[in-house]
Structure 1
Amino acid sequence: MSRTSPHIHLPSAEVSRRGLLKTAGGLTAALALGASASATTADAAPAAFTHPGMLHNAGDINRAKVRVAAGDDPWLSGWNRLTANSHSASTWTPNPQATIIRGGTGENYGILYNDIAAAYQNALRWKVGGTEANAECAAKILNAWSSTLATVTGNADRFLAAGIYGWEFANAAELMRDYDGFDLAAFQDMMVSVFYPLNDSFLTSHNDACITNYWANWDLCTMASVMAIGILCDDGAKYDQAVSYFKTGAGNGSIQHAVPFLYANVDGYDLGQWQEFGRDQGHTVMGMGQMGAICEMAWNQGDDLYSYDSRRFMKAAQYVAKYNLGDDVPFTTYTWGSGQTCTQQSQTVIGSGSRGQVRPVWAMLHFHYNRRLYLDDKYISAMYYSVAPEGGGGDYGSTSGGYDQLGFGTLMYAK
């Protein structure tokens, strides 16, 4: 089976996508596994990682290249958003820092997220458009940071910085890993020595707070960084750490904690309440992007987390999209323990703040569930088409929220 062909959909069981890919006579094997397949079995990391194999695989890149060259929409519209973004210019000058601070005195993390956006966007322009100047620029940015950055610090927000910018940075590097002018080894060393220790510390101890104290996105960005570093460095243990946490982790980023309540057949669709839904919609939609990134990276390594636990994530994405399109959704009071003593708090109503906020997270989800799996994703689809073509960092404001996802999903995922 080709890694870019439609996935075999077995609604009665969760079957490892990699297992189907590696098993001779995949369809026969899949049907034989049937109801005996376990949804809780953690897969081992692949014997050999696929590269490029994070947010984009070789098929994604080739499709975008061919379609843009042919002038086909919506790929061309997505490409035009990319080339119009100032971060994608090959003249971008990096500004590497030895210390990045997020939270507290002396914050400077905006420098980092702008340079990451520039590295990623230049890498995309090189991969899709073939322009050497963009490759040189992306490599220059990545090399500058890997030879300079020594510390990510600040208050508790340092864990957010290490998580969000960790997985994004690794994705830019993954696109550039076969470029001669890029020092992959130095970059891998920076990711392992600067970002991963903070990632691991947070998933292990949660800053010495109650396990439920931190919102789902704190875990999710951390899990995404651990997974991305594992792929970038061909490190199976790190990759497995992220996959295992997604399935059974104790914090709010694991799938059953991130989607604590399910609702069957609401106007004909199964929905799932997101953990941050009583907080606000900006952070809730951010969660669609963070968990989506984890699922897409795993998919490109042969693991189907998108469908794990009876497609629990899809139910949440449908729920979030439905509400942010202006429709009503059910809500169950959410109660959790906070601080170091697990002081109980509750949210009794939906957090309507930032309702309808645009973030470039929906293309990835729509083109997976609807075009790979041929599922009816009514609300995800409507949300995607309401915001397409998707841009990226620099297209959604200058504050950090506009850089919490790499974007350009229309260009890279449209099928």
Structure 2
Amino acid sequence: MHRRPKILLAALLGPALLLGTACGAGTTGAGTGTEAAPAAVAPERFRHPGVLVGGAQLAAVRRHVEAGEEPWTSAYEAMGESEYAALDYTPHPARTVACASNAGTDACVAEREDAIAAYTHALMWSVSGKAAHAAKAVEIMDAWSKTVKEHTRDDADLQTAWSGSSWARAAEIVHAGYPAWRGPAVQRFKWMLRKAYLPAVTARVPDYNGNWELAMTDAAIGMAVFLEDRTVFEDAVRRYRARVPAYFYLSSDGALPKPPPGGTIDTADELATYWFGQRTYADGLGQETCRNFMHIGYSLAATAHIAETAWHQGLDLYREEAERIGAALEFHARYQLGATAPKWLCGGKVERTMGPDVEVALNHLEGRMGMKLPETAKLAVSQRPGGTDDLFVAWETLTHASNPTPA
């Protein structure tokens, strides 16, 4: 989307907010688009598997499940009972995936579900050792890499973010340890990611709701690791460093939230409109808090996914924003669990629709860093075993609950 002059802000945000078309733009700025961001450092040698979940974590999951320990055993059983884990699962690839705002063709749902199914079978294979699951993951990935050519219409960037993140996780696990998936089939899958997904998830889209760009960056950094592309990896890190501080507020930011990076929204009134009418800002508040907690959950999950993948590659993005992420987790967990919203917050009404989105961040901040996040821990326990949102979050109780294993 092209940069729009400020005079068109109301016209842009009106339909965008109603339709849910939202995202942000990546720049080299640390918040305003003009500040210099810390240098992005891609590894000289990528670690595999290392997209969202690492080899040590997968080994820990296997030990927990074999020992019948909780919550991992219940999480594994729930995953195995889902339709995504069925060995007779049939993929439905499409040449063109056309997704309009809050609508689209059947291919939109099929693509997201097939990508989650591939990731599910990759995890099933990793835990159970049954090669049939690896073969099914390969079947699904091969079907799409032979078929899909393009994503079109308004939600192309978001669609490729959701499905692309799952594709990268599935491919990473399978390719790292399943010798039957090699050669031309893998190269075709990599070509698919480069041509049908990366252009969309690396697009510059300023002034949209931040959950878009965070999801796009989640997919981009995952693909970067699988493709061993240092340039894409470093661009994803720069976008994370610019977008996260503009999405989750801390009082140290000043009286107003940081503007969306690279965009046109920067006055108090414009920011209030962008933050869904909110004019009082407190530590942990999110740009979409007063929209609904579902989109906040997407953003918390995507933020953690990006940082977790970077951490597995030797770059600690968590530490850079630990205070901000922790504040956002605790703020929203408290209200998701039922605390009464004060009048200053969204007019006293919040939409408690957060999904299974906190396990990854909780595991690192509490398990690795020793931070105390009591509300977040309570929420995670209440949601276990966390399943999938059918978009891009899947089985994170299994992979990340109390799993602070080193990279």
TM bucket (normalised to shorter chain) is 0.7 to 0.9
Name the counterpart of 1:159. Answer: 157
Contact 2:41–2:315 (8 Å) recurs in 1: no
User: How far does the alpha carbon of each residue in 1:57-93 deviate from its partner, in whole angstroms, 9 at most, with x for none?
Assistant: 0011000111111211221111111111121112211
Shift of 1:388: 0.8
TM-score (structure 1 length as normaliser):
0.76
3-state DSSP of counterpart to 1:307 = helix
Name the counterpart of 1:323. Answer: 335
3-state DSSP of counterpart to 1:100 = strand
Shift of 1:106: 3.8
Following superposition of structure 1 onto structure 2, how do residues 212-361 of structure 1 map, counting pairs within 5 Å? 212=207, 214-248=208-242, 254-262=243-251, 271-328=283-340, 349=347, 352-353=350-351, 355=352, 357-361=353-357
Decide which of 191, 194, 197 is 2:193's aligned counterpart.
Answer: 191
TM-score (structure 2 length as normaliser):
0.77
Contact 1:281–1:351 (8 Å) recurs in 2: no
Q: Distance in 1 between matches of 2:166 and 2:251?
A: 30
Q: Distance in 2 between matches of 1:283 and 1:187?
A: 30
Q: Distance in 2 between matches of 1:350 and 1:81?
A: 36
Change (3 A) 1:105 1:94: closer
Worse-superposed segment, 136-145 or 363-372 = 363-372
Name the counterpart of 1:90. Answer: 87
Change (3 A) 1:329 1:316: farther
Contact 1:45–1:236 (8 Å) recurs in 2: yes
Contact 2:113–2:391 (8 Å) recurs in 1: no
Shift of 1:271: 3.7
Name the counterpart of 1:13. Answer: none
Displaced runs of 4 or more, over 4 A? 328-333
Shift of 1:180: 2.8
Name the counterpart of 1:387. Answer: 383
Shift of 1:291: 1.3
3-state DSSP of counterpart to 1:306 = helix
CA RMSD of aligned residues (A): 2.2
Q: Distance in 2 between matches of 1:87 and 1:58?
A: 22
Change (3 A) 1:322 1:143: same
Following superposition of structure 1 onto structure 2, how do residues 169-184 of structure 1 map, counting pairs within 5 Å? 169-178=167-176, 179-182=178-181, 183-184=185-186
Q: Distance in 2 between matches of 1:288 and 1:65?
A: 27
Q: Partner letter of residue 145 of structure 1?
A: W
Name the counterpart of 2:49. Answer: 52
Aligned residue pairs total 333
Q: Choose between structure 1 and 2 for higher RCO, CA contacts under 8 A separated by at least 6 residues.
A: 2
Change (3 A) 1:58 1:280: same
Q: Say whether 1:408 aligns with 2:402.
A: no
Q: Distance in 2 between matches of 1:240 and 1:122?
A: 30
Q: Distance in 2 between matches of 1:70 and 1:310?
A: 33
Shift of 1:372: 1.4
Shift of 1:374: 1.6
Identity %: 26
Name the counterpart of 1:71. Answer: 68
Mind listing any 5+ residue stretches in structure 1 that lack a counterpart? Answer: 1-38, 249-253, 265-269, 334-347, 393-401
Change (3 A) 1:97 1:181: farther
Name the counterpart of 1:123. Answer: 122
